[in-house]
Amino acid sequence: MAELTHTPVLLSETLDLLNLEANKHVIDGTLGLGGHSEAILKKIGPKGKLMAFEQDERNLKEAKKRLKKYEKQCLFIHSNFEHLAEVVSKHAFQPDAIFLDLGLSSPHIDDPERGFSFLKEGPLDMRFDKRQKLTAEKVVNTYSEKDLADIIFHYGEERHSRVIARAIFKARKAAPIKTTTELARIIGKTIRSKGKIHPATRTFQALRIYVNRELEVLESVLEQSLKLLKKGGRLVVISYHSLEDRLVKNFFRDQTRNCICPKELPVCQCNFQKKLYILTRKPIIPDGIEVSHNPRSRSAKLRAAEKL
């Protein structure tokens, strides 16, 4: 197996906003190949602690190799970060900072067998965690035309969702759609490409998000993170598409309000108190130098907030 590599995105900006010091306890909810975690461990020193979540068994194995010299400081969790509160409680771990890098790791994109990319032929899989039963192939071949259209529209923001769903539904009547390239060809014949974006891009995004319940899980983990962080603790999130970024932006905004009552109420009745201070009024994005060295960072947006 070729050596797996992944360049951590917005690394220096992430470290600055996490506000790390020696002996801190940090959660990396998306370990990947351990690039961000390695830098975090260097910052928190030998008495600091890291809890790291990773769904993908292969990524976790490679990250453990990379972080071997820090293994006594690390709690590696082979799980989705939606179980954050449960795991933190089990290990009595009190985080000073929580970091979430929501992007695909490079091995997911580069390995055709994972089915995330249509650039090379592979099975329609798209699972981050192979222990999970639902695959993209099952969605494509068994869901109704209406459900397919809704998934492609809501999670891919694809305005041609109904046309694409109809083409998929028609094609699978002849034979099941098994591969990434086959699905991409069906979509490519159905809608015309405009600009540099392949016509299948949004559909593949939609299927991946749906299969892995990404938005539902993100919404849950943001709520959990807020409850788990110590006062003054930092939450730093890097997102890669508008649906994720919007969810993070709105969550941060909502937690900075002193009242969440309907506007028509003349007097506040909710007694809600703001819980966050936003550290990034606008998202931080990679500069031209970083994008030139790591083109996959181009869509990254970093947002950070501090618990009050």
> What pLDDT score does 249 carry?
97
What value does the mean pLDDT take over residues 16-34?
97
> What pLDDT score does 75 carry?
98
What value does the mean pLDDT take over residues 94-117?
90
Q: Which two tokens stand for residue 308?
A: 């009050």
What value does the mean pLDDT take over residues 252-281?
86
Residue 258 CB neighbour total at 10 angstroms: 10
What value does the mean pLDDT take over residues 85-99?
97
> What pLDDT score does 79 carry?
96
Is pLDDT of 178 > 80? yes
The DSSP symbol for 179 reads: B
pTM of the model: 0.92
Same-domain pairing of 145 and 294: no
β-strand pairing of 97-101 with 25-28: parallel
> What pLDDT score does 174 carry?
96
Does residue 122 lie in a domain region? no
What value does the mean pLDDT take over residues 100-125?
89
Same-domain pairing of 280 and 159: no
Number of domains comprising the chain: 2
Beta bridge partners of residue 292, listed in sequence order = none
| 238 three-class SS | strand
What value does the mean pLDDT take over residues 124-131?
95
Boundary residue ending a domain (196, 211, 226): 211
Same-domain pairing of 26 and 97: yes
Is pLDDT of 243 > 60? yes
Give the pLDDT band (50/70/90) at residue 106: confident
d(CA 53, CA 98): 11
CB 29 within 8 A of CB 54: no
Interior angle at CA 159, CA 157 and CA 163, nearest 5: 125
Does residue 2 lie in a domain region? no
Between 5 and 149, the more confident residue is 149
CATH number at residue 45: 3.40.50.150
What value does the mean pLDDT take over residues 10-23?
97
> What pLDDT score does 4 carry?
57
Does residue 280 lie in a domain region? yes
Same-domain pairing of 204 and 276: no
> What pLDDT score does 262 carry?
78
Is pLDDT of 259 > 90? no
What Å distances lie between residue 26 and 47, 56, 200, 235, CA to CA?
12, 20, 38, 10
Non-local CB neighbours of 134 within 8 Å, separated by 6+ positions: 127, 211
Beta bridge partners of residue 236, listed in sequence order = 99, 304
| 77 three-class SS | strand
- What are the CB-based long-range contacts (under 8 Å, 24+) for 88-92? 88/27, 88/51, 88/228, 91/51
Does residue 24 lie in a domain region? yes
Is pLDDT of 305 > 80? yes
Boundary residue ending a domain (146, 180, 211): 211
Query: Starting from the edge strand earliest in sequence, which strands make up the sheet with 49-53, in order?
Result: 74-77, 49-53, 25-28, 97-101, 234-239, 301-307, 276-278
Average pLDDT, rounded, for the chain: 93
Give the pLDDT band (50/70/90) at residue 266: confident
| Tokens 């703001």, residue located | 274
d(CA 125, CA 206): 13
What value does the mean pLDDT take over residues 29-48?
96
Same-domain pairing of 161 and 231: no
d(CA 137, CA 126): 9
> What pLDDT score does 261 carry?
76
Give the pLDDT band (50/70/90) at residue 107: confident
Give the pLDDT band (50/70/90) at residue 197: confident
Give the pLDDT band (50/70/90) at residue 2: very low
Same-domain pairing of 96 and 225: yes
Burial of 117 (0-12, 13-18, 19+ CB in 10 A): buried
Is pLDDT of 121 > 80? yes
Same-domain pairing of 82 and 140: no
Give the pLDDT band (50/70/90) at residue 1: very low
The DSSP symbol for 97 reads: E
Q: Is the dihedral of CA 175, 176, 181, 185 positive or negative?
A: positive
Q: Which two tokens stand for residue 233?
A: 């603790």
Is pLDDT of 129 > 70? yes
In the chain, the percentage of residues whose pLDDT exceeds 90 is 85
